[in-house]
């Protein structure tokens, strides 16, 4: 592996030091620049350009969003946003993701050092995924974030939340719906898909790996630019025509049959595939509640969440699709899904809206 040259830009000396201690100790990663604000960072970048940037949002002299946009204009580079979990920060961070950032690292108000060390492996994985991302798509704004920051020793499957599907379901007369899973790169990918859909599209349920508070800001932003309704999912929300429901950060989401359609269940529970919400939980619920009336679509993202669930959907008679490598910012989740045999078809992101509408009109 090539050595990954990382720059950390944050006005907190503690955060700069902790991120340096964690990342610089890892094989193949070197934190070469630590800057307290973008002005200082720019001076360093004149001499050495980093491979990956970890960037704070709120800083003196120049804010992180402005700096990010300047970088994307000058020389698109994988950027991980390091943001506090507040409603104000969430809104700005979603704008940063839309502008080309790869993912989110959250930071608490207290206990910062312990928090980052507990999330050490996820942090390292995030940096490596950013480095290996499709850099050409950063310029095209094809998109992205991520994650829940609690690391557990055991990697749980959806069994800890839902029992496995045991039989195919009679779906005669049931509404056609779509379930989508995404992670790194998913914010812009979802924006690309949802803004292209008409108001008569089938109901959509989405899991995008994203921390609590960020999912509402993400849904609100999409709702403001899409023809369809987009909202953060709440208990008993109907999955209906012209509506996309995005799983709440920090909670799992599943489907329940409700007459001829489906409604949402918001579920507590442990991390599944190291995420909450987990794509595997949503996809398993789709496998249990539907069949040929449900389309499963797995998009760009790091790791393997959703691969097992997509295979369960396929085995239950659902139509399953994975995004291709060329249009994925991070070809992880769809790659594993294809390798495990869960995808009946592999498509470019540009074909996703048409695939959804053709499925709806079959």
Domain boundaries, the chain: 4-132, 158-360
Distance separating alpha carbons of residues 314 and 10, to the nearest angstrom: 45
* Contacts of range 59-64, beta carbons closer than 8 Å, 24 or more positions apart: 59/9, 59/10, 59/11, 60/11, 61/37, 62/37, 62/38, 63/38, 63/92, 64/9, 64/38, 64/96
Q: For the chain, 362 residues long, give each residue's pLDDT as a single digit of tens.
A: 579 999 999 999 999 999 999 999 999 999 999 999 999 999 999 999 999 999 998 888 899 999 999 999 889 999 999 888 666 778 888 888 888 888 888 887 677 778 787 788 888 988 998 998 887 777 554 332 332 333 334 567 877 777 778 767 777 788 999 999 999 899 999 999 999 999 999 999 999 999 888 999 999 999 999 999 999 999 999 999 999 999 999 999 999 999 999 999 999 999 998 899 999 999 999 999 999 999 999 999 999 999 999 999 999 999 999 999 999 999 999 999 999 999 999 999 999 999 999 999 98
Residue-level pLDDT at 85: 64
Burial class (CB in 10 A: 0-12, 13-18, 19+), 340: middle
CATH of 4-132, one of 3.40.50.2000, 3.90.1300.10, 3.40.50.12780, 3.40.50.2300: 3.40.50.2300
Residue-level pLDDT at 249: 93
* Residue 68 DSSP SS3: helix
Annotation says 183 is catalytic: yes
188 and 142 Cβ atoms separated by less than 8 Å: yes
Q: Which residue has the tokens 């779509």?
A: 178
* Options 98, 183, 265, 278, the catalytic residue: 183
Strands of the sheet containing 103-107, edge to edge, are 29-35, 4-9, 52-56, 79-84, 103-107
Helix, strand, coil share (%) of the chain residues, nearest 5: 35, 25, 40
268 and 161 Cβ atoms separated by less than 8 Å: no
Distance separating alpha carbons of residues 98 and 245, to the nearest angstrom: 19
Annotation says 285 is catalytic: no
* Options 209, 273, 280, 316, the catalytic residue: 209
- Region at 319 (left for phi over 0; alpha for psi -120 to 50; beta for the rest): beta
Q: Which fold has domain 158-360?
A: Rossmann fold (3.40.50)
Please count the other Cβ atoms lying within 10 Å of the Cβ belonging to residue 95: 16
The secondary structure of 317-349 as a DSSP string is T-EEEEE-TTT-SSBSHHHHHHHTT--SEEE-G
Annotation says 10 is catalytic: no
Please count the other Cβ atoms lying within 10 Å of the Cβ belonging to residue 26: 17
Residue-level pLDDT at 235: 97
* Options 125, 280, 305, 324, the catalytic residue: 305
Interhelix angle 13-23/120-131, nearest 10 degrees:
80
341 and 221 Cβ atoms separated by less than 8 Å: no
DSSP letter at 350 equals: G
Residue-level pLDDT at 151: 36
Residue-level pLDDT at 141: 44
């Amino acid at each position: 592996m090539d050595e990954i040259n990382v720059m950390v830009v944050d006005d907190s000396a503690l955060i700069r030091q902790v991120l340096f201690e964690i990342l610089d100790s890892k094989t193949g990663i070197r934190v070469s620049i630590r800057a307290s604000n973008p002005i200082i960072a720019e001076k360093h970048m004149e001499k050495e350009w980093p491979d990956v940037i970890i960037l704070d949002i709120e800083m003196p002299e120049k804010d992180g969003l402005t700096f990010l946009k300047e970088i994307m204009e000058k020389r698109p580079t994988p950027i991980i946003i390091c943001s506090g979990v507040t409603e104000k920060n969430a809104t700005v961070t979603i704008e940063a993701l839309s502008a080309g950032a790869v993912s989110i690292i959250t930071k608490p108000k207290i206990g910062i050092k312990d928090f980052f060390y507990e999330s050490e492996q996820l942090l390292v994985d995030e940096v490596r995924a950013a480095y290996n991302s499709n850099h050409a798509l950063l310029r095209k704004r094809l998109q992205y974030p991520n994650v829940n920051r609690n690391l557990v020793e055991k990697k749980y499957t959806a069994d800890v939340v839902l029992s496995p599907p045991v039989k195919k379901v009679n779906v005669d007369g049931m509404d056609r719906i779509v379930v989508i899973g995404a992670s790194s790169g998913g914010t812009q990918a979802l924006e690309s898909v949802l803004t292209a859909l008409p108001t008569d599209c089938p109901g959509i349920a989405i899991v995008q790996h994203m921390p609590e508070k960020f999912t509402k800001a993400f849904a609100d932003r999409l709702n403001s630019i899409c023809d369809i309704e987009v909202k953060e999912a709440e208990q008993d929300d109907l999955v209906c025509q012209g509506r996309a429901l995005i799983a709440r950060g920090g909670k799992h989401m599943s489907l329940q049959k409700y007459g001829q359609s489906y409604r949402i269940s918001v579920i507590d529970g442990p991390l599944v595939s190291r995420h909450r919400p987990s794509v595997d939980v949503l996809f398993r619920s789709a496998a249990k509640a539907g069949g040929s009336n449900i389309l499963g679509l797995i998009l760009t993202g790091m790791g393997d969440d959703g691969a097992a669930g997509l295979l369960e959907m396929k085995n239950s008679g659902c139509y399953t699709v994975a995004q291709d490598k060329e249009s994925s910012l991070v070809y992880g989740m769809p790659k594993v899904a294809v390798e495990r045999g869960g995808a009946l078809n592999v498509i470019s992101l540009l074909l996703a809206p048409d695939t959804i509408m053709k499925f709806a009109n079959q």
